[in-house]
Amino acid sequence: MDKVLIIEDDPIMGDMIAMYLTEEGFLAKRAELGKKGLALLPEFNPDVVLLDLVLPDVSGMELCSELRRISPVPILVVSMKTDVSERVDALLAGADDFLCKPFSMRELTAKIGAMIRRTHLNQVAENARQGTAEASNVEKQEPIVLDMERRAIYVDGYYVETTFSEFEMMRLFLTNPGKVFSREELINELRGFDSFVTERAIDVHIANLRKKIEENPKEPKHIRTVWGVGYKFVMG
């Protein structure tokens, strides 16, 4: 049974979410304080963390960063604020997705389900890499390889974990090497997967990808900025 840790101080909202997720087949546990949620993480070992940014004891953004520092668990942030800057800050803090209050329970469960499926796909890809040194559709001679069947990315033969949007962006780059993509083109490509994608969010995804695939993210050799236009991918 997939597990969801709910860090939400509002008892009505928290209990309602927990009850709905339980009815949908999840095992849900709620923490009303950020510190309690952090303490529950290793004990409960959730598949997804649902994190309210407004908490009485700690900053939600700081808690998000701390959760990401100690665990790769997918984090779905919820907030009353709808500012683009709030969403970008959440992504920078390590969140995988963002949901604005009020939200429908169907949208909540859809996002949680998508996060869990992505995690399972990544785990399958990692297990396959560890168990089989040579995958049939992974070309080891290339420094960066996309395995479409397992939705996995390998850098110098090592599996690199990516978010759904990051994988889709790398798929676009690797299937169109040398092509310059404007931010608007990248937004249009990702909009079907990331409902909150913006130009700033594109820059965040690019920065995160560079940290994962570049030897020196400050001097990227693969994902290059084309000033005044956007980005392009170079394999060499």
Q: What is the pLDDT of residue 133?
A: 45
Which fold is adopted by the domain 144-233? Arc Repressor Mutant, subunit A (1.10.10)
What pLDDT digit, counting tens, does each position of 208-231 carry? Answer: 899 999 989 889 999 999 998 899
64-94 pLDDT per residue, tens: 999 988 888 889 999 887 778 888 888 888 8
Tell me how many degrees the CA angle 30-201-218 measures, rounded to the nearest 5: 110
Checking 217-225 for CB contacts under 8 A at 24+ apart, the result is 222/143, 222/144, 223/173
Distance between first and last Cα of the chain: 44
Nearest CA to 161 out of 82, 96, 79, 227 is that of 96
User: What pLDDT score does 138 carry?
Assistant: 45
The answer to which of 114-123, 143-152, 174-183 has the lowest mean pLDDT is 114-123
Q: Is 57's pLDDT higher than 90?
A: yes
- Between strands 144-147 and 75-79, the pairing is unpaired
Q: Which residues contact 175 (CB under 8 A, 6 or more apart)?
A: 146
CA atoms within 13 A on the CB side of 17: 30
Q: Nearest Cα to 93, choosing from 68, 119, 58? A: 68
* pLDDT on residue 139: 43
Task: Write the pLDDT tens digit of every residue in 24-42.
Answer: 999 999 999 999 999 999 9
The pTM of this model reads 0.59
Residues of the chain with CATH 1.10.10.10: 144-233
| Strand (E) or helix (H) holding 39 | helix 34-44
Fold of the domain spanning 3-124: Rossmann fold (3.40.50)
- Residue ranges, comma separated, of all CATH 3.40.50.2300 domains in the chain are 3-124
Hey, how many other C-beta atoms are within 10 angstroms of the C-beta on 154? 22
- Scan for tokens 């009020």, then name that residue: 102
